[in-house]
Chain A
Amino acid sequence: MSSKEIEIILSRQWADTLSVPVFIVDPKGNLLFYNEPAEEILGLRFGDTGSMPVAQWSTIFTPMDDQGNILKAEALPLVQTLGTQTPAHGGFWIKSLRGTSYKISVTAFPIMGRPHRFLGAIAIFWKIMEK
Chain B
Amino acid sequence: MKITIWGCRGSLPAPGPEKSIFGGNTSCVQVSHKNTSLILDGGSGIQRLGASLDPDTKEVNILLSHLHLDHIMGLGYFSPFYDPDYTINIWGPAGSNESLVARLRHFFSPPFFPVRLNELPAKINYVEIDNSTFIIGDFTITSEYLCHPGPTVGFRCTAGTSVFTYIPDHEPALGSYNFIDPEWCSGFNLAYQADLLIHDGQYTVEEYKDRMGWGHCSIDDAIKFGDLAKVKKLVFFHYDPARSDTELEQMFLNSTHKLQIPFDIMLGRENEVFYLE
Interface residue SS majority, chain B: loop
Instruction: Please pick, from A2, A10, A113, A115, the residue contacting B183 in the complex, using a CB distance under 8 A.
Output: A2
- Docked pose: A37 CA to B77 CA in angstroms: 54
Q: Is A72 an interface residue (CB 8 A)?
A: no
In the bound complex, do residue A6 and residue B151 qualify as a contact, i.e. CB atoms below 8 Å apart?
Answer: no
B183 and A4 contacting across the interface, CB-CB below 8 Å: yes
Decide yes or no: A113 and B175 within 8 Å by CB, A3-B188, A9-B186 being known contacts: no
> B94 near A: Cβ within 8 Å?
yes
B176 within 8 Å of A by Cβ?
A: yes
Q: Is the CB of B183 within 8 A of A1?
A: yes
A130 at the interface (CB under 8 A from B): no
B94 near A9 (CB under 8 angstroms)? no
Q: How many CB-defined contacts (below 8 Å) exist between A and B?
A: 58
**In the complex, what distance in Å separates the CA atom of A3 from the CA atom of B225?**
13
How many residues from B make CB contacts under 8 Å with A? Answer: 24
Please tell me if the beta carbons of A2 and B188 are within 8 angstroms of each other in the complex: yes
Encode contact with B along A4-44: 1 for CB under 8 Å, 0 otherwise: 11110110110000000000000000000000000000000
Shortest distance from the beta carbon of B252 to any chain A beta carbon, whole Å: 27
Measured between alpha carbons, how far is A13 from B185 in the docked complex, in Å?
A: 11
Considering the complex, which residues of chain A in the window 86-119 have a beta carbon less than 8 Å from any beta carbon of chain B? Answer: 113-117
- Contacts A4-B183, A9-B175, A9-B184 hold; do A115 and B94 have CB atoms under 8 A apart? yes
Query: Quick one: which of A6, A13, A113, A115 contacts B128, CB cutoff 8 A?
Result: A115
Which residues of chain B are near A13, meaning CB under 8 Å? Answer: 174-175, 177
| A3 close to B184 (CB less than 8 A) | yes
B94 touches A114 (CB 8 A): yes
Contact B147 A9 (CB under 8 A): yes
CB distance from A45 to the nearest CB of B (A): 15
Q: Which residues of chain A are within 8 angstroms of B186 by Cβ–Cβ distance?
A: 3, 6, 9
Contact (Cβ within 8 A) A114 B175: no
Residues 86-131 of B contacting A (Cβ, < 8 Å): 93-96, 128, 130-131
Quick one: given A115-B96, A115-B128, are A3 and B174 in contact (CB under 8 Å)?
no
Interfacial chain B residues near A9, Cβ < 8 Å: 147, 175-177, 184-186
Whether the Cβ atoms of A10 and B189 lie closer than 8 Å is no
Shortest Cβ distance from residue B217 to the other chain A in the assembled complex, whole angstroms: 14
The answer to whether B175 and A6 have CB atoms under 8 Å apart is yes
In the complex, whether B74 has a CB less than 8 A from a CB of chain A is no
Asked if B144 is an interface residue, CB under 8 A from chain A, the answer is yes
A115 contact from B130, B175, B184, Cβ within 8 A: B130
The answer, yes or no, to whether B145 is at the interface (CB within 8 Å) is yes
What separation, in Å, do the CA atoms of A115 and B95 have in the docked complex? 6
* A4 to B145 CA separation, bound complex (whole angstroms): 11
Task: Judge whether B222 is part of the interface by a CB distance below 8 angstroms.
Answer: no
Q: Is the CB of B95 within 8 A of A6?
A: no
Q: Which A residues are closer than 8 A to B by beta carbons?
A: 1-7, 9-10, 12-13, 113-117
Q: What are 20 A-B contacts with C-beta separation under 8 Å? A: A2-B182, A2-B189, A3-B184, A3-B187, A3-B189, A5-B145, A6-B144, A6-B147, A9-B176, A10-B175, A12-B184, A13-B177, A113-B145, A114-B95, A114-B130, A115-B94, A115-B95, A115-B130, A116-B96, A117-B131
Chain B residues at the A interface, C-beta cutoff of 8 Å: 93-96, 128, 130-131, 144-147, 151, 174-177, 182-189
Pairs of residues from A and B, 6 with the lowest C-beta to C-beta distance, nearest first: A115-B94, A3-B188, A6-B145, A1-B182, A6-B186, A114-B96
| 18 more CB-based (< 8 A) A-B contacts, given A5-B145, A10-B147, A116-B96 | A1-B182, A1-B183, A2-B182, A3-B185, A5-B144, A6-B147, A9-B175, A13-B174, A13-B175, A114-B93, A114-B95, A114-B96, A114-B145, A115-B95, A115-B96, A115-B130, A117-B130, A117-B131
